[in-house]
Amino acid sequence: MTTRRAFTAALGLTGLLFASTLPTLSSAADLRPLRIGVDPYTTGSQVWVAKEKGFFEKHGIDAQVTVYATGIETLDATLTGNTDAGVGLDFPTALRMQSRQLTILAAIFASTPGWHKLAVNESIKSDADLKGKRFGIASGTAQHLVTTKYLEGKGLTPSDYELVPFSNLIEIVASLKSGRLDGAFVWADGVGQATSTPGIRIMTDDSEARLRQSAYVSANTAYAKAHRDVIVDMLKAMGEATEFLQQHPEEAAALIAKNTKAPADSVAKLLKLNTFHLQLGDAEREGFAAIGEFASTVIKSPVSFDTAVDPSYLAEALPASVTLSK
């Protein structure tokens, strides 16, 4: 009888142990899918860290990350509903606010000068040589804005130079190397590719454009309204990822490099060009004002921080991260 009781007790304990695993299995099955778009650079750093470190799963999200060729494609996919949320720099984000189908949720980093570098050929030796030259732009990107503000800061008007539009960095670099352009702001691996051609050198960087550039995470407006809980939990996960980036930059660089297929040391250098955070404050409002003013002239429709941003999602997820004055 004692043996039978012991066996029964052991069996009951085994059942309890098995049952204790069920919530974990159930929670895995009940993860809510969320499609997130990123570019192939470091704009999606918090997304990759949140995915690799399990922060999304911790908050009940099955993050389905898609890498788009550019931030513009990421934002367009979010706007049209082909993805639910996405990250992008401020200028291309502002250009897509006219339809109100995109909602800015939070600033994810502020860029320090140095990301864009002005590559020029031998016809440009000083500022005096900028007039009458052809400059390549990635239309509708932050590089487009940097180029315009840089030339404006040199006292030039649009009639003093020619902007040649391209869709991506590869096309810009190829045109620089072939001599079809006199100069262009390049970035990432485009810097090395451009300067590998004799006669092309780096003249300066985007610090002379005097812009405060930021990146944002945005959501498809209809999706965010219908799935507020998912968006709020996404921001919680990205908040934890931001803290990890700040505290463990080298490990974070390795995680990001694993997903972007870039060398970890290169990613680590690029991360140093950004100050990562997840916030909405008056600094973001002021920085967006200059961006929005220029974007308004492009799309012929007013763009403002207060109409583009909905701080309520971040306020619910991380109340201390919203410090906007009234």
Segment 130-159, tens digit of pLDDT:
999 999 999 888 899 899 999 999 999 999
pLDDT tens track for 35-56? 999 999 899 999 999 999 999 9
**CB contact burial 196-218 (16+ within 10 A = b; e otherwise):** eeeebeebebbebbebebbbbbb
Domains within the chain, CATH numbers bracketed: 31-112+214-321 (3.40.190.10), 117-209 (3.40.190.10)
Q: Distances from the Cα of 324 to the Cαs of 110, 120, 239, 311, 320, in angstroms?
A: 17, 41, 18, 9, 10
**pLDDT confidence band for 116 (50 / 70 / 90):** very high
Question: What is the Cα–Cα distance from 211 to 70, expressed in whole angstroms?
Answer: 21
Number of C-alpha atoms within 13 angstroms, CB side, residue 264? 8
Taking CA atoms, 312 is separated from 69, 101, 120, 148, in Å, by: 30, 17, 45, 34
Cβ–Cβ < 8 Å for 66, 251:
no
Q: Is pTM beyond 0.85 here?
A: no
Tens-place pLDDT, residues 68-104: 988 999 999 999 999 999 999 998 999 999 889 999 9
Element of type H or E holding 87: strand 85-89
221 C-beta neighbours (distance < 10 Å), count:
17
Length of the chain: 326
